Amino acid sequence: MLSDAEPELRLVIECVRAAVDPGADPDIEPLVSSDLDWDRVLDLARYHGVLQLLQQGLASTYREVKQERGVPPSVSSRLDGTVQRRTMRNLAATDELRGILDDFDDANVRALPFKGPVLSAFAYDSVTVREYNDLDFLVHPEDVSTAADVLEERGYEWRDGAPRLDDAALLGGSATKAIVHEYAMTGSDIDVELRWRVGDAERPFSPDVTALWDHREQVDVGGASVPALAPEDRLLVLAFHGTKHRWYLLKWLCDFVAAMDATTADWDRVLARARDHGVERPFLVGAALAGSVFEYGLPEPVATRVSEASGVTGLADRVRRSLASGSMSAPGRIESARFFAAASESPTALLRLVALHSALHPTYADYRFHPLPGHLHPLYYVVWPLRLLAGLLPDRTETDPPTEEPT
């Protein structure tokens, strides 16, 4: 637990513990009874993406505290109103997800929805509990262009009005780095991201989308059976994603704990799969955080590996201290890169991060300046440094695609 954190943050953590871990025994009453800054409570929950879980923890587990001790009525009203709006938005997003999947199926697009409604349905048994900003799909690399065409037919618009051409320039090739790692497409009510890999060139993730598709299972989402990541793959993806972002938002840890609790598995086999694909350490860091932040009871094989693995508890403690500080700002890129490298299985992870950093390769700013078809993609490596030296390159911080908003 974060016993050294401010009471407002401790209340948020106790409430989300009650929501994600059926075996938790949170101690909310003393915190609710104290002199809390409720605006700070809501701000922290909003920043960490757990407003629904905060409300669920207060309402379902400690309803008598809310009634007798009194969460201020104005706070309850604001929280309930926000959650109601997000619930309606999530239901609409779930309907859109089913429509997109039907169209993908008609076009023979191999696509796995992950995070969003699918993760919410699997981990929390409800499509309305988890907070998310868009719909994410893992798409087989051969089907990316078709998937983007399907979305355009549904009224989604591609990024910034730059032409798509034949997609190959953006997707990269055997000797060139991809300019983008996902297609972000904007709809009237919700955005969609198409990804053809879980990681990126700098931080690769194994298994690839083809293997994830072959290993897929079905999940009931709002009454419809949809393709989804296998439970053990879902845990590996969540652990990788959290570690990539240095676990600075509680929502990622909530997702990991809730998904772990919903997974019935041979944990020795899960650990072996993680080890085979080079993501055991990120998985163990997530597990260590689940134990230290939420006091989650880890399966015995996982707890044993956490205690045995060198440096895992130290990495988890770095995150725990950062969370306890109550900071509401994301770590910088350098800090995140160092953390990811330290949590990586590969001794060359940091070198790869440096060698493939976007500053050393053509970016979306170059593509927007002069879109080229795929077979001319290598020319970006000739034109880019010349333009950079000539001072013609627009401000990359303004014209590159926005940094991925964690979801």
pLDDT mean over 236-243? 96
Specify whether 238 is located in the same domain as 204: no
pLDDT mean over 298-326? 96
Give residue 161's pLDDT: 63
More reliable by pLDDT, 358 or 37: 37
Specify whether 325 is located in the same domain as 292: yes
Domain count along the chain: 3
Least confident of 22-26, 85-89, 194-198, 394-398: 394-398
116 is a domain residue: yes
Average pLDDT in the chain: 86
Residue 2 — pLDDT band, cuts 50, 70, 90?
confident
Give residue 400's pLDDT: 46
Specify whether 264 is located in the same domain as 328: yes
Handedness of CA 157, 163, 165, 168 (dihedral sign): negative
What domain range includes position 306?
A: 230-361
**pLDDT at position 398 over 50:** no
Q: Are 339 and 346 in contact (CB under 8 A)?
A: no
pLDDT mean over 163-171? 71
407 is a domain residue: no
pLDDT digits (tens, 9 = 90+) for 176-193: 677 778 888 999 889 999
390 is a domain residue: no
Give residue 129's pLDDT: 92
**pLDDT at position 281 over 50:** yes
Specify whether 7 is located in the same domain as 131: no
Give residue 28's pLDDT: 77
Residue 43 — pLDDT band, cuts 50, 70, 90?
very high
186 is a domain residue: yes
Report the predicted TM-score, pTM, of the whole model to 2 decimal places.
Answer: 0.89
Give residue 276's pLDDT: 92
Q: Mention every residue, 6+ apart, whose C-beta is less than 8 A from residue 76.
A: 66
Give residue 69's pLDDT: 53
More reliable by pLDDT, 392 or 365: 365
Percent of the chain surpassing pLDDT 70: 85
Residue 354 — pLDDT band, cuts 50, 70, 90?
low
Specify whether 327 is located in the same domain as 289: yes
**pLDDT at position 163 over 80:** no
Residue 362 — pLDDT band, cuts 50, 70, 90?
confident
Which residue, 208, 229, 250, sits at the end of a domain? 229
Specify whether 217 is located in the same domain as 99: yes
399 is a domain residue: no
pLDDT digits (tens, 9 = 90+) for 136-158: 999 998 999 999 999 999 999 87
**pLDDT at position 379 over 70:** yes
More reliable by pLDDT, 401 or 75: 75
Give residue 406's pLDDT: 57
Specify whether 38 is located in the same domain as 102: no
Give residue 397's pLDDT: 45
